[in-house]
Amino acid sequence: MIINADVIIDFSNPSNLEEILTFAQENKTAVLLCTTGYSSEDFKKIEQASKNIAIMQAGNTSIGIAVLKLLVSLAVEKIAEWDYEVIEAHHNRKTDSPSGTAEELLKLLQTDEDKDSIRFGRNPKTGKRKVGEIGVHSIRGGSIVGDHTVMFAGKDEVIEIKHRAVSQDLFASGALRLARFLKGKEPGRYYVEDAYK
């Protein structure tokens, strides 16, 4: 099937990736992947496809999250020695955890990937917090649209940087903004940050 579209926007399920990439390459159409929960194999397929089409994987299309990431990067620069924890909350139908946005925040927080270990939740057997550990906690319930908090805990003081999505509409309007950016771009891999420069 041939389509005449500028950009394909996908918010669905990672299992659709191969079909979307094949279709987009056949049609030479740019792709904005807003779905989360992709595996490392999936990211290799995205990388491969970016040789033929313009492609962006946007784990969060919200402008507020783009700003939150800037604030987190600034905090990491200033208070590298503090303890970091990420807490995210989503509705009870979400299939992946932690959220794609939490994964992106973790990348910003990891100053040294070999040293900074990620701790997915804690349980009675977890034991004491290790130096350099970064905790990530996923809450699932009801119709929560999407909350992300990055906590910086130092001696005698705590900073929390929090974003709350109150309606899914913001993801749609953010995606349209990113799609307008992708329209007509040369094949390659593009990032949300590119659209806000």
Ligand X SMILES: NC(=O)c1ccc[n+]([C@@H]2O[C@H](COP(=O)([O-])OP(=O)(O)OC[C@H]3O[C@@H](n4cnc5c(N)ncnc54)[C@H](OP(=O)(O)O)[C@@H]3O)[C@@H](O)[C@H]2O)c1
Task: Supply the residues annotated as catalytic.
Answer: 90, 94
Encoding tokens for residue 17? 């990736």
Q: Does 31 bind ligand X (CB under 6 A)?
A: no
Strand locations in 91-178 (E): 118-120, 134-140, 146-154, 157-165
- In the complex, what is the shortest distance from the CB of residue 27 to ligand X, in angstroms, rounded to a whole number? 17
Stretch that binds ligand X, among 1-9, 52-60, 118-126, 131-139 (CB under 6 A): 52-60
- For residue 10, give every residue at least 6 positions away whose Cβ sits within 8 Å of its Cβ, in sequence order, or none: 16, 20, 31, 32, 33, 34, 35
Stretch that binds ligand X, among 58-66, 105-113, 116-124, 154-162 (CB under 6 A): 58-66
45: exposed, middle or buried (Cβ count in 10 Å: 0-12, 13-18, 19+): middle
Stretch that binds ligand X, among 9-17, 47-55, 110-118, 121-129 (CB under 6 A): 9-17
Name which of 111 and 173 has its Cβ closer to ligand X. 173
Q: Does 59 bind ligand X (CB under 6 A)?
A: yes
Site string for ligand X, 101-130 (x = CB under 6 A): ------------------------------
Q: In what order do the strands lie in the sheet with 188-190?
A: 7-10, 30-33, 54-57, 188-190
State the DSSP code for 185.
P
* Sites of contact with ligand X (CB under 6 A): 11-13, 16, 34-37, 58-61, 93, 100, 171
